[in-house]
A and B are shown apart, each in its own frame.
Chain A
Amino acid sequence: MSIIWFLVPAALLIGVGFLVLFIFAGYRGQFEDLETPAVRVLLEDQFKDEKENRK
């Protein structure tokens, strides 16, 4: 059972790691705009050849 002494800190560490990531992402402005990213995804890229055809 002593493996618990490894698993619990390890799981905590993963959790804390994500928490740091979360806070850091917040500082870097990742959560400032939660509207437009959803729309921006839909803008389609174009195929190289298709685009040339269209010109």
Chain B
Amino acid sequence: MTRMEQKGNLERFSYDDAIVKKFTLATLLWAAVAFLVGIIIALEMAYPALNGGLKWITFGRLRPLHTNAAIFAFAGNAIFAGIYYSSQRLLKARMFSDKISQFHFWGWQSIIVAAALTLPFGLTQGKEYAELEWPIDIAIAVVWVAFGVNLLMTIVNRRVKHIYVAIWFYIATFITVAILHVVNSAAVPVSAFKSYSAYAGVSDALVQWWYGHNAVAFFLTTPFLGLMYYFIPKAVNRPVYSYRLSVIHFWTLVFLYIWAGPHHLLNTAVPDWAQTVGMVFSVMLWIPSWGGMINGLMTIRGAWDKLRTEPIVKFLALSATFYGMSTFEGPMLAIKSVNELGHYTDWIIAHVHAGALGWNGFLAFGMIYYLVPRLWRTELYSKRLANIHFWVATIGILLYVMSMYTSGITQGLMWREVDAAGKLAYPDFVQTVSRVIPLYWIRAVGGMVYLAGFLVMLFNIFKTISLAPQVQSDETEDECVPYIRKPLFSGELSFSHRVLEARPMVLAVLTAVAIGIGSLISFAPMLLSSSVVESNYHDAINKPYTPLQLAGRDIYVREGCYTCHSQMIRKTVGDVLRFGPASTIEESMYDHPFQWGSKRIGPDLARVGSKYPDLWHFRHMRNPSQVVNGSIMPTYGWLHQDRTDFAILKKKLSVMKMLGVPYGDEDVERAESWAKEEAASIAAGLRAEGADVKEDREIIALIAYLQRLGNPTRGGVK
């Protein structure tokens, strides 16, 4: 015992385990949903007719539901369960407020339910992993801050001096996700469930991937690393291999991760220097990440026998291995030339699933197998079933990632292969689609096997809980001698004038902070008025969308076409040969939100305008495989029935104008009649060619938009 501790008195206190139980059960529930939706969309890709022509379960609308459920519902609840369990024990303090814990739990579950009730209806902001509309975004911010307050105040109230490294990972998670979420979700509402991103085009892309990459970093990595540094030592009952290394791991990660975002935009219209920054930082990330992986695995040293017998240890060890794989693959994919091959292909899907199913999933499973017997004061019902789960899930992951690696590399090679004459070897995109469909089936099977393993776990956990003692307390008692905390700003540590002068380092840092805040404040006005932000490009020939095109664009966003189609032709030979001149920044300068996309299940659409007549799109959207043999694009029959909302266009244009899109006052005024005129002329053209269509149908607006892509002067303002 140290001198300081002897001065204190032994204190007894209890931990709130009820909240951990709740988050644990929620994790299991949402995991089932996320996996199930994942399997449905995987099957829809192999067999598009599966959706039965129902708009609510079409691929483009379900895919965001799957990603949100996996990240925020499954991984989110797992993180919270682990954080609430480990923080109390590491800090020797009960969570700051039981009420806030309850608010956090129910608030988070309501957000998930709200997501499940809005995304299938096409209520989306159209930005990946940030699809939820603005009222839900506000709720997320509120609940997240409540969680942060709860965590930080528990740290303040702690009874041990040293803050264990896991807690640092949790702190970084809270702070960074809060900032990223607020910045990226900035939007101006048009109605209760429709808004336009505050940023446009390349700016929106940079903000989105700054967020997107750090969502992976600070939602799926740092909190899980914290959990790893707690649960691996606990599971093998040995101290972490090198505590010093874990501290270094933490601090290097937080300084490097923030800069890696642009690696999602390599070879695009984003300026080269920004791409290079993203690439360099991404490659640097490899080193601390592997330090962390080795640290996690080496913790098991001397207890290797447990790897053979203990399912918990198996899950945790394989999880750390997948962390190592993903953090090697990530930096590799961030190298421009590798990225040229891998970007937009299923390789990326393999990469994220190795991370999500292997790293996050296995860590969560291992943690739950550890937690449930402890929380419910019993033994695990069956170790054997847990072992079976482990092997089944591993086979599931292998089927999944192997098929997607094969598919991704096949796509990448086929897209860019040229013959001796320098022409594309596979000029029809659909040739490259048909080739990988067998692999889509294998992927779906892999997902089902993984789910099967999970169902074994559900059964095992259910049995464990139902066989647990009926009457039990939801509290765990502990005791310790609290350390005497020094007041934050007094005594030798005071940041008083004298100390500041005496410590040039502190002074320098504080100055840097001041400059940072200052520059932030001075740049904020620029942001708020994007007319200033994008003024450099206003002279370009690019004209804003006509109201009808805008209505069509909103349909494109609503249907999630961006989940299958990119709108960004890269500066690579393969892209330019196939889709035309590389996309420029100007072409998306009025795009709130941008729709560059990240995946090409179908071809790029940046220059699809004028490629086909209106009638082609009319028929193709109704039944793609009838027009293009072998297409796996879903049918969009409802667009031919549902009516365009013309009345809201005035409001939409006025919001766009506010965001800096150069519409005149009279453009806004006549938005509705103008759109109707344009729709009438398109519909008349279609009818002349024999199509049976009325001008107020959504398909007309969508065609207006599709024909505008790559034709910057088509339509436009007066």
Contacts and interface: CB of A to CB of B under 8 A. Distances in A.
Interface of A: 1-7, 9-20, 22-23, 25, 27-31, 33-35, 37-42, 45-51
B117 interface: no
B258 A5 contact: no
* Closest 8 pairs between A and B when the two form their complex, measured CB to CB: A3-B203, A38-B239, A38-B243, A13-B516, A45-B478, A9-B519, A48-B477, A2-B533
Contact of A41 (B179, B233, B486, B493): B233
A47 B179 contact: no
A10 B178 CA distance: 13
Contacts of B510: 20
A39 B585 contact: no
B585 A1 contact: yes
Nearest to B486: A28
Interface stretch (B247-255, B431-439, B573-581, B694-702): B247-255
Contact of B14 (A1, A20, A48): A48
A40 B162 CA distance: 10
B478 A41 contact: no
B206 A4 contact: yes
Interface string B481-524: 00000100000010000000000011001101100110110011
B716 interface: no
Interface string B659-698: 0000000000000000000000000000000000000000
B377 A49 contact: yes
Nearest to A31: B247
Nearest to B199: A3
B210 A19 contact: no
Contacts of B526: 2, 5-6
Contacts of A20: 509-510, 513
Contact of B234 (A1, A17, A25, A42): A42
Interface of B: 14-15, 89-90, 160-165, 172, 175-176, 179, 183, 199, 202-203, 206-207, 210, 230, 233-234, 237-240, 243-244, 247, 251, 254-255, 258-259, 271, 274, 377, 472-473, 475-478, 486, 493, 505-506, 509-510, 512-513, 516-517, 519-520, 523-524, 526-527, 532-534, 536, 585
Given A1-B585, A22-B251, A48-B473, A11 B520 contact: no
B237 A34 contact: no
A2 B203 CA distance: 7
Nearest to A39: B239
28 contacts: A1-B202, A1-B536, A2-B203, A2-B536, A3-B203, A5-B526, A7-B207, A9-B519, A9-B520, A10-B183, A13-B517, A14-B175, A15-B258, A18-B251, A18-B255, A19-B255, A19-B512, A20-B510, A34-B247, A37-B243, A41-B90, A41-B164, A41-B240, A42-B234, A42-B238, A45-B15, A45-B89, A46-B477
B203 A37 contact: no
Given A3-B199, A47-B377, A41 B527 contact: no
B-side interface mostly:
helix
Given A15-B258, A38-B233, A45-B476, A23 B203 contact: no
Please report whether the interface of chain A is mostly helix, strand, loop or mixed according to DSSP.
Answer: helix
A20 B162 CA distance: 18
A41 B237 CA distance: 9
Given A15-B254, A41-B239, A42-B239, 4 more contacts: A31-B247, A34-B243, A38-B233, A39-B239
Given A2-B533, A42-B233, A16 B478 contact: no
B516 A9 contact: yes
B199 to A, nearest CB: 6
A28 B163 CA distance: 11
Contacts of A37: 162, 164-165, 243
B210 A7 contact: yes
Contacts of B512: 16, 19
A3 B270 CA distance: 12
Given A35-B243, A38-B233, A47-B477, A23 B509 contact: yes
A33 B165 CA distance: 12
Contact of A48 (B176, B183, B202, B475): B475
B8 to A, nearest CB: 16
Contact of B240 (A3, A5, A38): A38
Nearest to A3: B203
Contacts of B475: 48
A38 B164 CA distance: 8
A25 B15 CA distance: 26
A10 B521 CA distance: 10
B477 A3 contact: no
Contacts of B505: 23
Contacts of A10: 179, 183, 520
Contacts of A12: 516
A21 B26 CA distance: 33
A14 B523 contact: no
B477 A45 contact: yes
A55 to B, nearest CB: 12
A40 B693 CA distance: 73
Contacts of A45: 15, 89, 476-478
Contacts of B478: 45-46
Contacts of B509: 16, 19-20, 23
A6 B523 contact: yes
A16 B519 CA distance: 13
B251 A41 contact: no
A2 B255 contact: no
A46 B90 contact: no
A5 B486 CA distance: 40
A33 to B, nearest CB: 7
